[in-house]
Chains A and B, each alone.
Chain A
């Protein structure tokens, strides 16, 4: 029974991972709404609706930074296996971040092009994959936390 730094990391990541899962579910819902916008032509022209359909860009940077924090903490704690599991996604995030639309701050999802079927499909798939990954890693962190707490 030892409350090591590693155990602390796992506890923190456990909480944050729940947050990430929430973010991703939020994104999935948002994309789904985009795709199946209900077809009532009467309120088509409601100008306020245009804003609602801005994709969930604001959650993207928090998600990326939280995941970056995971990697940093696991590195500090010397949890190399966990770090190894997370690095692919970390590099993917880096790649996404630096290949975002060239003109700046709409971080990931450009509202004018996200309705393109290819991009929308891609974003949806990406969200589902991430959801799976975060769910699995949640249980992995739980297990690792308990393991870190009980050993020694």
Chain B
């Protein structure tokens, strides 16, 4: 059935996002695109597959996608490429006269139309040529100047952008096509699985366009199971010289193709992806064959049928006769033999009996070994399997309580915070993209149609947020996937909880802005001393072709010390021209037109400038820094277009507006008293950030400083303009190579990652729930609307919710986050995530659904707010109280048998540990010497990082490295990644004979025991003895031994999982960094903080009071 043939690529890889009305291209949504995906999914996935599909039709679904079979046999079912040369982009443009299905075959005869005149069934919108992205008439041309933009593009120059945008058939405007692609070396390593020959791309095409003449016999199932290599093929085009010539918008610089994942292992964005897949678990959109939308409990037999549902099986009837299964669902360990192995009905039955694992009572004082050996999985909401399969991935959308309490009083009783943790713009390897002229939304609350709406009949659907009954537009009746009519519930929008729409022009208020990047660089003496400038210039030179953008991309540079230097890069100049403005009190732009230049047209000049910049200020003696004026100048420069401003600052700004004084008293760093100066000293930066936000400018701050820089004040500029903050304490090009490497890697990721401009995000939730507070970097423009001048894939958000009306008559509630943004290619897109959660009425069910990591993450955000508005000690008390309150509430209300000890439900067993970890985290610790900037940065990180990384920052993972084995290892891209146990953070777990890796998110420590095995020292570190381990070692030598390979595989795998680069420090007992390592031993007692056991005793004492 509806094998969701629409685009399975991520957001911007949209060769498939055809503008042909409701029709999408059936490319393999069904199978996991990446190698890692398939492999990792196998255990959890296949059983369900077998179960749901049953034996009758295994051939159709064939678990084939999950098997690393070579493409050959499956490709065989596709028409050979030569037979279908026509199914490329221009062909679609050639068919503009197709009428939409409603006009072609209205009324009850749709299925015939589907069978016989297939060409009518895939209607591209009338006026679409290959040059326009929008279904509506293109309202404006890309190259057309608008507004007061500093547009120096003369008419002659205006033409090429447009053309190269529209058709890539141009022999190569400016840069070669591969260079436009985000990855400089797309083909460095062949994808280990099924490297498809270039032409495998084409057999794929029939599915998009008009139905081919020779595809295997019409059954949608056949088209619905494209073999996995197809997706690889999609991405492989970058490497293949025989790429179909007309793929204009697939050349996204920021495409994250799974194929690329395979190709460039260690590259941050890519390898990050397949890890996501691994962690996404069963909630990833699986084969749509099993997605039955709002049919919660269809009999399995029915699910197999490919035919449209008989009219007797009416959705409403279905829903009425087969209500949602209620009842606690056992806590499922992914991969373990659990209910997944059972048939859905069996599982549903088993759900209703027995005590759920999540509620198993744990006496924390007695059970010492609580930490699971692998990373803690996200709990599964207690939904029917059909709904759960459709649900949004916990990587993207997570709720602190996977069972929503019915009333606010119940929530208050549970004493757990209710909130969402979002990672909305995450790099996804599998993201359906839909283009249609009308985006179906609820008429009253404007919710996007999603898998959790209910269809009353074929013509009406009921919004799951406001319960209004809406009409199904005619266009929506046509299902492009199965090319059938009258199955609105099988549309991709209703089959995927995460989906992206290409927005028509009604979603724009002005033409989509071009990608504009402005770099504001500190060149004072201090900055030159750190030597960051050459690293920056080199990085930008290396990645300048990979900057996301299109032919309109603009760049500009401003440097500043006590004066502001602008660089005239206008085309025609023989070399960059520096313009100095020394009137910093009243800043103005010397030549407004030529400071921001088109990157493609002026690439040589930009490169010249980057090469000469490091030398230009080599001998500067200027020590002052007029950051405020530089920011004002940059804002003036960017405000006509909007864009991204990257600010590099190395010292406290001390001149002109926004000058700051040092507020830190080094003697107070370790004081156990309250920490002062966590709030900004001036509102200059905040106000400027709000101005920036209004003009769609985001400011990213790179702070490289050994001195106090007042991040609390400076950070506001990024916080309220939705930027990001990077902090490299004690950066120096010679003395601190680890920071230099980190800076380099972070810059590379920063420059090449995806970016969305002029974005807004709205979070909607079912009537009765309301949003209380947002956490993250943004400006809140309305109660549910965030203004995000830029959105990047590494930003996380948290939302506190409250229950305003009782949810008595509801069985499920839904949350929807919709992110409207302009891609770097100038497309307006909407990414929609929808999550559905059950409502429960008993306190024990609320506890059973608690997600301890999400709770911790949200509490951390709340504590950051508290420590800024109130005081740090207040925040610490609040966190401790949160643990005390929830555990005592559990004891009093949810527990039937009273036992002695500190009791917690199994799902919250890690809660006290995480709270203790938070109390000992850099952001909140007291009594340990912590620099103010580092503390503030840690607070920013807690609010900004997506949950998975925030958890690592809160509670590092400790692994033993000297006895790594391949047992239970992952296998990704033919690399074996050992998976050692996660150890408790206690010195008791260390041994002098071993070597231990502590992964603390932003930094990793490899601790070598004094009597470490000789084997490990020589095979991994390449030294003869413990004494020979160098004092400052930040790199694992590349030795050709099995141990070294294993260790390096693990370390690089850990690094690849995250979008930032953790530096590795190899430390011995005598190392300077050893205290940092030991401070992360959370379960141990320190001079100023309790040990885990003491903390538990403290909790118990407070609870029993």
Interface residues of A (CB under 8 A from B): 34-37, 39-51, 53, 101-106, 111-112, 115-118, 120
Interface residues of B (CB under 8 A from A): 445-446, 506-509, 642, 679-683, 686-687, 690, 693-696, 713, 720, 758-760, 762, 770-774, 779-783, 785, 787, 802, 818, 820
Report Cα–Cα, A70/B713, bound state, in Å.
38
Chain B CB within 10 A, most for which of A34, A48, A117, A120:
A117
**B507–A41 touching, CB < 8 Å:** yes
Which chain B residue shows the least CB distance to A41?
B446
- Chain A residues near B762 (CB, 8 Å)? 39, 41, 44
Report Cα–Cα, A88/B696, bound state, in Å.
44
- Chain A residues near B642 (CB, 8 Å)? 47
**A105–B772 touching, CB < 8 Å:** no
Task: State how many angstroms separate the Cβ of B142 from the closest Cβ of chain A.
Answer: 18
Decide: A104 near B509, CB < 8 A? Known: A39-B445, A112-B720, A115-B780. Answer: no
Task: State how many angstroms separate the Cβ of A48 from the closest Cβ of chain B.
Answer: 7
Report Cα–Cα, A134/B720, bound state, in Å.
36
Report Cα–Cα, A36/B681, bound state, in Å.
32
- Chain A residues near B509 (CB, 8 Å)? 42-43, 45-46
- Nearest first, the 4 A-B pairs at minimum CB distance are A37-B782, A115-B780, A103-B683, A50-B694
**A102–B679 touching, CB < 8 Å:** yes
**B782–A50 touching, CB < 8 Å:** no
Known: A35-B783, A40-B446. 16 other contacts (CB 8 A): A41-B760, A42-B507, A42-B509, A49-B781, A50-B690, A50-B787, A53-B782, A101-B683, A112-B720, A115-B782, A116-B772, A116-B773, A117-B771, A117-B773, A117-B783, A118-B773
10 CB-based A-B contacts, threshold 8 Å? A34-B783, A39-B762, A42-B507, A47-B696, A47-B758, A48-B694, A103-B681, A105-B683, A115-B782, A117-B772
Report Cα–Cα, A111/B778, bound state, in Å.
12
- Chain B residues near A48 (CB, 8 Å)? 694
Report Cα–Cα, A42/B638, bound state, in Å.
24
Which chain A residue shows the least CB distance to B818?
A41
Decide: A44 near B785, CB < 8 A? Known: A102-B679, A103-B681, A116-B772. Answer: yes
- Chain B residues near A111 (CB, 8 Å)? 690, 779
Report Cα–Cα, A112/B686, bound state, in Å.
9
**A103–B802 touching, CB < 8 Å:** no
Interface of B is mostly: mixed
Report Cα–Cα, A103/B690, bound state, in Å.
15
**B690–A112 touching, CB < 8 Å:** yes
Report Cα–Cα, A37/B782, bound state, in Å.
6
- Chain A residues near B687 (CB, 8 Å)? 106
Decide: A53 near B683, CB < 8 A? Known: A44-B760, A47-B695. Answer: no
- Chain B residues near A36 (CB, 8 Å)? 783
Decide: A112 near B779, CB < 8 A? Known: A48-B694, A102-B679, A103-B686. Answer: yes
- Chain B residues near A43 (CB, 8 Å)? 509
**B690–A47 touching, CB < 8 Å:** no
Decide: A42 near B785, CB < 8 A? Known: A50-B693, A103-B686. Answer: no
- Chain A residues near B781 (CB, 8 Å)? 37, 44, 49-50, 53, 115
- Chain A residues near B770 (CB, 8 Å)? 117
Decide: A41 near B820, CB < 8 A? Known: A103-B683, A104-B683. Answer: yes
Task: State how many angstroms separate the Cβ of B106 from the closest Cβ of chain A.
Answer: 29
Task: State how many angstroms separate the Cβ of B901 from the closest Cβ of chain A.
Answer: 36
Decide: A39 near B780, CB < 8 A? Known: A47-B694, A103-B683. Answer: no
Report Cα–Cα, A39/B780, bound state, in Å.
14
- Chain A residues near B695 (CB, 8 Å)? 47
Q: Which of A35, A45, A101 contacts B758 (CB 8 A)?
A: A45
**B820–A44 touching, CB < 8 Å:** yes
Report Cα–Cα, A128/B686, bound state, in Å.
29
Task: State how many angstroms separate the Cβ of A120 from the closest Cβ of chain B.
Answer: 8
- Chain A residues near B773 (CB, 8 Å)? 116-118
- Chain A residues near B690 (CB, 8 Å)? 50, 111-112
Report Cα–Cα, A40/B696, bound state, in Å.
19
Report Cα–Cα, A42/B760, bound state, in Å.
11
Report Cα–Cα, A115/B784, bound state, in Å.
9
- Chain A residues near B681 (CB, 8 Å)? 103
Report Cα–Cα, A115/B800, bound state, in Å.
12
Task: State how many angstroms separate the Cβ of B815 from the closest Cβ of chain A.
Answer: 16
**B802–A117 touching, CB < 8 Å:** yes
- Chain A residues near B772 (CB, 8 Å)? 116-118
Task: State how many angstroms separate the Cβ of B690 from the closest Cβ of chain A.
Answer: 6
- Chain B residues near A117 (CB, 8 Å)? 770-773, 783, 802
Which chain B residue shows the least CB distance to A47?
B694
Report Cα–Cα, A34/B780, bound state, in Å.
10
- Chain A residues near B680 (CB, 8 Å)? 102-103
- Chain A residues near B679 (CB, 8 Å)? 101-103
**A104–B682 touching, CB < 8 Å:** yes
Report Cα–Cα, A117/B773, bound state, in Å.
6
**B760–A45 touching, CB < 8 Å:** yes
- Chain A residues near B820 (CB, 8 Å)? 41, 44-45
- Chain A residues near B713 (CB, 8 Å)? 103
Report Cα–Cα, A106/B687, bound state, in Å.
9
Task: State how many angstroms separate the Cβ of A47 from the closest Cβ of chain B.
Answer: 5
Report Cα–Cα, A111/B818, bound state, in Å.
23
Task: State how many angstroms separate the Cβ of B81 from the closest Cβ of chain A.
Answer: 42
- Chain A residues near B696 (CB, 8 Å)? 47
**A51–B694 touching, CB < 8 Å:** yes
Report Cα–Cα, A46/B758, bound state, in Å.
9
**A112–B783 touching, CB < 8 Å:** no
Chain B CB within 10 A, most for which of A41, A43, A45:
A45
Report Cα–Cα, A40/B785, bound state, in Å.
11
- Chain B residues near A101 (CB, 8 Å)? 679, 683
Report Cα–Cα, A34/B451, bound state, in Å.
31
Which chain A residue shows the least CB distance to B713?
A103
Chain A CB within 10 A, most for which of B695, B771, B781:
B781
Report Cα–Cα, A113/B713, bound state, in Å.
16
Task: State how many angstroms separate the Cβ of B412 from the closest Cβ of chain A.
Answer: 15
Report Cα–Cα, A120/B446, bound state, in Å.
24
- Chain B residues near A104 (CB, 8 Å)? 682-683
- Chain A residues near B782 (CB, 8 Å)? 34, 37, 53, 115
Task: State how many angstroms separate the Cβ of B799 from the closest Cβ of chain A.
Answer: 11
Report Cα–Cα, A51/B692, bound state, in Å.
11
**A39–B802 touching, CB < 8 Å:** no
**B783–A115 touching, CB < 8 Å:** yes
Task: State how many angstroms separate the Cβ of B101 from the closest Cβ of chain A.
Answer: 26
